[in-house]
């Protein structure tokens, strides 16, 4: 970015010696300072998929569809029936909707991981398949 240490320090609101220690890979730099410097350099990732909407539907393909939110972007998320049966149905005792409700937090965590890794469908949605679950 062709910034001097002084300019970077000013933009990051840290001291010039802090920038110097950061560049020298010293271990005594506070995490908040490191994050401030990385933010100025455009090296932080602000994506965060949250699931405030409790609604979900079961579509014709027998998948459960639910929605996540990343800032202003609404993200369609789905888990296939096969994945629900293979990993969350408790030995076929739970129907898809009940399995989804019981294991929703785990499913959301798996979907969030795929989203943050950039493993999205061409339309931007996230689809959880049985092979995605270890």
Query: Per-residue pLDDT for 92 more than 80?
Result: no
Q: What is the pLDDT of residue 9?
A: 94
Residues 26 and 5: their CA atoms lie apart, in Å, by 15
pLDDT band at 128 (very low <50, low <70, confident <90, very high): very high
**Strands, E assignment, the chain:** 56-58, 64-70, 73-79, 126-128
- Do 27 and 75 belong together in one domain? no
Q: What is the pLDDT of residue 30?
A: 93
- Do 15 and 71 belong together in one domain? no
Between residues 99 and 61, the one the model is more confident about: 99
- Do 64 and 116 belong together in one domain? yes
Mean pLDDT of the chain: 92
- Do 66 and 28 belong together in one domain? no
Domain for residue 92, yes or no?
yes
Domain for residue 51, yes or no?
no
Q: What is the pLDDT of residue 75?
A: 97
Query: Per-residue pLDDT for 134 more than 80?
Result: no
Domain count, the chain: 2
Query: Per-residue pLDDT for 127 more than 90?
Result: yes
**pLDDT tens-digit map of 42-68:** 898 888 899 999 999 998 878 999 999
b/e sequence 60-99, b meaning 16+ C-beta within 10 Å: eeebbbbbbeeeeeebebbbbbebbbebbbeeeebebeeb
Q: What is the pLDDT of residue 95?
A: 86
Domain for residue 45, yes or no?
no
Domain for residue 47, yes or no?
no
- Do 71 and 96 belong together in one domain? yes
- Do 70 and 11 belong together in one domain? no
Domain hosting residue 80, numbered range: 56-132
- Do 27 and 67 belong together in one domain? no
CATH of the domain at 85: 3.30.160.140
Tokens of residue 45, six digits: 């990732």
């Amino acid at each position: 970015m062709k910034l001097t240490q002084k300019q970077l320090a000013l933009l990051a609101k840290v001291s010039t010696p802090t920038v110097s220690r950061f560049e020298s890979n010293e271990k005594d730099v506070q995490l908040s300072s490191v994050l401030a410097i990385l933010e100025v350099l455009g090296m932080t990732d602000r994506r965060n998929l949250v699931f405030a909407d409790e609604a979900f539907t079961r579509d014709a393909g027998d998948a459960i569809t639910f929605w996540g939110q990343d800032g202003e972007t609404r993200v369609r998320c789905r888990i296939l029936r096969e994945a629900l049966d293979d990993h969350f149905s408790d030995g076929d005792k739970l129907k898809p909707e009940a399995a989804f409700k019981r294991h929703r937090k785990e499913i959301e965590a798996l979907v969030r991981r795929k989203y943050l890794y950039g493993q999205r469908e061409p339309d931007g949605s996230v689809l959880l398949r049985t092979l995605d679950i270890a």
